[in-house]
Amino acid sequence: MAAYRSLVNHVFLPPVLPQSDAGDAFDILVQTTFKALIEYKRLRADQHSSVENAIRMTGNMATAHVDSYIDEEKLARLMEAVPRDGGSIVLHVSARNAGMIISRVSPLETGFAIRFEAFELAPLNQAVYQSKGRLGRSFPGSAVDLDFPTFAEPGLVDTIARTLAKMSFQAAPGMQPQVRKSKAMVDEDRDTTHPGMIYEFIMGFLSAVGQSAHVDTISKNTREEVLLLDARSPWRRSPVWLLLRVALQLKLPCDIYKEFMAFMMSSIINDHDFQKLSSDMRFSMMAKLPDWSHLQTRPPLNLSSLASLHFDQDGFTAIPALDKYLKSISARESGQHTTDFNPESGMAIFQPSVLPYLPGIDSHRDYTVPNLHAFETWLATHINQWSDLHKSDANACEQLYDLIKRYHDLALRQYLGNPEALSVCYLTVLELWKALDVCATHLYPLLADYRLYLSMAFAQNFLLPSEAEMQRLLALETYFSSRENRAHLPSARCSHAITADCFSVRYDDQYPNLQVLLEKIEVQAAQEKAAKLEELARLKSEYERLMTLHRDTFCEYYEYVLEEANEWMPQAVTEQRQSYSCQKCEYKSKAAGLKIDIHEWPLPVSTTNQKAVVFEMRPPFSFIHWRDSLVFLRINVPQAEYTMGTRARAQHPLSTDEKLAGFATGQHRRIGLLSEDKPHTRTHRKTMDISKATDAKACLASGLNYKYYDSDTGTFISGLACTDKVSLDCTYKLPRRSTALQKFINRTPADTHGRTSNTVIATLSDCPSHMSLDEYRKLASIPCGSSLQWLNILVQLGIPAINFKNAESTIVLLQCIYQAGPASNGVLRVAHAFCGDPNSAGKLLMELGVALRRIEGNWESTKP
C-alpha cells in the first residue's frame, strides 16, 4: 500500500502530499509504466511499432539500473547492442540530477549514428518557490551524435558506462548549492544538484569525439512541489517520473503519448489498492483523469437499500440513565445545616526588620487594599534600614525582585482607575528597586561602573498629596542621578551588549573559576575533535576498501519472464535481473551506507563571545535577579517596548545546548543568550556520507550566533521606546461631557509645562455645551505652565470665573495641586515653588479665607 500511495503522489500530485523525502520511487514508476505499455499495446494494435519501441526503451531503463543506480556492466551490454538492434536507453544519473537518452538515429547526409541527449531533471527549490503556477521547461538540454566507427572504438563504450555508473551514485564537489552558516559557506543538500558534470564533462567529452546535434525540443509546463515540515529532507515530485514522461513524449507521436498517459492513470485507478484510499483522495484522482470514455466505465449506484429505512424507529434513542436521574429529583430530601460564624481578621501585620511576604495579603479579598496600604507604609518607613542590614546577603536581590513583581501585579489590579493609588504604587516599586540596586552594587562593585539609563521623567506625573511622599521621590531622583554621574560605561554593556568591557567579560577576567571552566570546555572539545578525525580516517579507509572490492567483482544475473508468449506476442518478454545476493552490489551498498556524524566546536570563535557564553553558564546568583529586575523596571513598569522588537525565527537557547549542559547551572532567568541559527548538529547536515567527508567538513566551528533575548516579551533586546501609559494612568479623568479639557491636564514628559494659552484660544470651538466660553478659557488656562499654575489658581480665588461646584473645576485644581511636576533642587519642585515663598503662600491663604467667607454668605453656592 505504501508503494501504491507513493505512485499516486508522484503521478497524480493530489492535494495532500508528504512533507518529507520518501525516495524517488524508481522501481514502482518504471514497473507501472512498463506494464501499462504492454496493456496499451494490446489496445492499440495500429500503433504496434511505436508502442513496441517504447516498451523496449522502458525495459532497457529497468535493466540498466539496479537499486535506482546505473549498473556499469548492464549499461555497457545495452550500449553495445544499440548499433545492431536499435532502440533507446533511458538513464537516470541520480547523483547529478540529470537524465540521458541514448538511441540510434539516422541524421541527414550521414549514416546511422548514436545520439546522446541530456537534460536537467529536478529544478532548484528557488525556481519552484518563485514560479506562479506551472514551471515552463524545455527538453532535451543538449545533444551529441557519434558515428558508428567512433562509437565502436575499443574502450569507448566501457569508459562511458563506467563514468555514468560512477556519476549516478557519487557526488562531486562544487555542484551543490550553498548557504551561509556561521560566516562560512556550506553545501545545502536539501536543494537539487547542478547537472554541470553531465553538461560540461560528459557532453563536452562526447562533443570532442562527435558533433553537436540539432534536435527538436519539447516544452512541458511541469507541476513541481518542494514540501518540508519537521524533516531532514523535503518531498519533491520524482525526477524519475519526469524522465519517463520526457522520454515517452520524445519517442511517441503526440496523440499517442497523451492517450497513453490517460490510459496509465486509469490503470492506476483500476488497481485494487484504489479502494483503500480516502474518498477525498479518490475524488481528486478521478478529477485529474482526462475524459476518455472508451478507457473506463463507471457502474451505476445501487440505491435499493434505501427502501428498507424506517426513519421513525431509526431516529428514536433511549437514554435510561437520564430517565432515572429525572425520577430521583422528586425524591430528594432537603436538609438544614447550621454553622458557627467566627470571622477572623485578614489584616496583615509586618515586622520592622522582616521583609514582608506578599502572597498572603490577598487571601482575604476584603482586606487586600488595606494590606497593600500597610505594606506601602512599611516600605516607606523601613526599606532603607532593611537594605543596609541585608546588602551582603546572597538572597537579598532574589527576595526583592520577587517582591517587586508580586506587588506590581497585585497593586495594578487593585488600583485600576485610581491615579493617586497608582502613583504610590509606582513610587513604591522604584524604592524597592533602589534597595535591590544597593544590595547588588555592594556584592558586585563592577555594576556601579555601568549607567542605568533609567528615565525618571514619568515620575513628574505622580499625584503625591503629602510632603513625605515628595521627599521620597526627591530621594529616589537624587540616588539615580548620583549613580549615573559616577558610572562611565553604557547601560547596554551590563544587560545585552557583548563587548570587551561588558560586565560578563570583565567579571570573567577577574574570577579564576570561570577561566578554569573555559579551559575544561576547550580541552574536552579538542579531545572529541581528535577522536572524530580518527573515526573519519578509519571510515575513509573502509570506504576505499569496499569500492575496490566493488570494482574487482562482477554482478550475478538471472533471466526473468515478464510476460509469456501469446497470440499477440509471439516471443516472451524477458529481462535480465540481478540476483538478490549479488556480492558486487553488496560492496557498493555497504560503501554508500558509511556515514559520519559531524563534530561541532561548542564555543563561539570570538574570545569575547566565549567569555560571555561561559559567564552565562554560571552567572552570579544575585546578578541574574538584578539584571532581570532592571529590564522589568524598564519594560513592564513604564509599559515600554523594544524599538526593534525582533522575534527569533528559531529558538536555540544556551540553556538547551547539549554539549555545554554538563558545565552549566540550571536556573530560570528572563534574560539569557539565544541563537536563532541552528547548531550544525541539529541541521540536516549533521550526518554526511563518507564519500563527501573531509577534515574541514566533518569538524566545524560553532554554528550558533548568540544574542541576548528577553523570554518574557519573546524578542531580542534592543533600545527602548517609551510610552505615556504611566503618565496617563496617574492623571485624573474628566467627565465624558468635558473630554475637550482632558488634553490640558495631560501633561506628559514630552509636554512638561502643558499647553499654551494660544492653544486654549484656538480650541474655543471645542467648548462643551454646558460651559460658557469664558469659563472654558479660564479653566483650561489654569494648568498652562508648571510655574504659573498656582498664580492662575490665586487669580480664580480672587476673581472667580469658574464654577467651583462643578466636578471639572475640582479635578483640574486637584491635578495641579497634587501633580509632582518637573524636578528641581528642592522638595517642592518647579510646580510648587510658589507655595514655598511666605509672601505667595500668605496671599493664597488670604484669598482662600475670602472665598470661604463668600461661600458662607451664600449657601446656595455650596450645592453641587
Confidence of residue 749 (pLDDT cuts 50, 70, 90): confident
Query: Using one digit for the tens of pLDDT, what is the confidence trace for 345-403?
Result: 778 888 988 998 876 566 677 788 888 999 999 999 999 999 999 999 999 999 999 99
Query: Using one digit for the tens of pLDDT, what is the confidence trace for 441-491?
Result: 999 999 999 998 888 888 999 999 999 999 999 999 999 999 999 999 998
pTM, whole model, 2 decimals? Answer: 0.69
- For the cut 60, the answer to whether the pLDDT of residue 864 exceeds it is no
Query: Using one digit for the tens of pLDDT, what is the confidence trace for 118-158?
Result: 999 988 988 888 888 888 888 998 999 998 889 989 999 99
- For the cut 60, the answer to whether the pLDDT of residue 14 exceeds it is yes
Q: Which cell goes with 824?
A: 528641581
Cβ 73 vs Cβ 555: under 8 Å: yes
- Residue-level pLDDT at 716: 93
Distance CA 256, CA 40 (A): 10
Distance CA 526, CA 788 (A): 73
Beta 699-700 vs 599-600: how paired, if at all?
A: parallel
Residue 82 makes CB contacts below 8 A (sequence gap 6+) with 88, 89, 102, 103, 104, 114
DSSP symbols for 746-775: ---GGGTT---HHHHHHTGGG--TTS-HHH
Query: Using one digit for the tens of pLDDT, what is the confidence trace for 275-319?
Result: 888 888 888 888 877 654 444 444 566 777 767 777 666 666 778
- Residue-level pLDDT at 471: 95
Confidence of residue 568 (pLDDT cuts 50, 70, 90): low
Distance CA 383, CA 409 (A): 20
- For the cut 70, the answer to whether the pLDDT of residue 662 exceeds it is yes
Considering the chain, what percentage of its residues have pLDDT values greater than 90?
Answer: 45
Beta 595-597 vs 687-689: how paired, if at all?
A: antiparallel
3-state secondary structure 43-65: HCHHHHHHHHHHHHHHHHHHHHE
In angstroms, the Cα distances linking 569 to 50, 52, 563, 781 are 15, 11, 9, 108
R_g (Cα) of the chain, nearest Å: 43
Cβ 189 vs Cβ 685: under 8 Å: yes
Residue 638 makes CB contacts below 8 A (sequence gap 6+) with 455, 458, 722, 723, 725, 726
Q: What is the mean pLDDT of the chain?
A: 87
Lowest mean per-residue pLDDT among 10-19, 93-102, 693-702:
10-19
In 3D space, the residue among 758, 776, 780, 756 whose CA is nearest the CA of residue 767 turns out to be 776
Coil, strand or helix at 362: coil
As a whole number, mean pLDDT of residues 418-441 equals 96
| Sign of the alpha-carbon dihedral angle for 423, 426, 432, 433 | negative
More confident residue, 852 or 386: 386
Residue 243 makes CB contacts below 8 A (sequence gap 6+) with 90, 92, 99, 121
Residue type, 6: S
Residue with cell 488497481: 271
Query: Using one digit for the tens of pLDDT, what is the confidence trace for 598-630?
Result: 999 999 999 999 999 999 999 998 999 999 999
Give the chain's length.
Answer: 864
As a whole number, mean pLDDT of residues 840-859 equals 83
**Preceding omega of 419 cis (within 30 degrees of 0):** no
As a whole number, mean pLDDT of residues 63-79 equals 89
- Residue-level pLDDT at 295: 43
Let me know if 758 is exposed, middle or buried by CB neighbors in 10 A (0-12, 13-18, 19+): exposed
Query: Using one digit for the tens of pLDDT, what is the confidence trace for 499-516?
Result: 999 999 999 998 889 999
Number of H helices, E strands in the chain: 32, 25
Backbone angles phi, psi at 820, to 5 degrees: -65, -45
- Residue-level pLDDT at 297: 46
Distance CA 263, CA 723 (A): 69
Backbone angles phi, psi at 15, to 5 degrees: -60, -35
Q: Which cell goes with 351?
A: 515586622
Residue boundaries of the structural domains of the chain: 24-256, 358-510, 515-536+594-721, 553-593, 731-862
In 3D space, the residue among 283, 275, 243 whose CA is nearest the CA of residue 4 turns out to be 275
- Residue-level pLDDT at 487: 92
Let me know if 26 is exposed, middle or buried by CB neighbors in 10 A (0-12, 13-18, 19+): buried
Query: Using one digit for the tens of pLDDT, what is the confidence trace for 38-47?
Result: 988 888 877 7
- Residue-level pLDDT at 861: 53
Backbone angles phi, psi at 113, to 5 degrees: -145, 160
- For the cut 80, the answer to whether the pLDDT of residue 260 exceeds it is yes
Cβ 726 vs Cβ 458: under 8 Å: yes
Distance CA 634, CA 710 (A): 12
- For the cut 70, the answer to whether the pLDDT of residue 336 exceeds it is no
- Residue-level pLDDT at 685: 81
Q: Which cell goes with 801?
A: 470665573
Residue with cell 469658574: 802
Distance CA 720, CA 743 (A): 25
Coil, strand or helix at 140: coil
- For the cut 90, the answer to whether the pLDDT of residue 248 exceeds it is yes
Considering the chain, what percentage of its residues have pLDDT values greater than 70?
Answer: 94
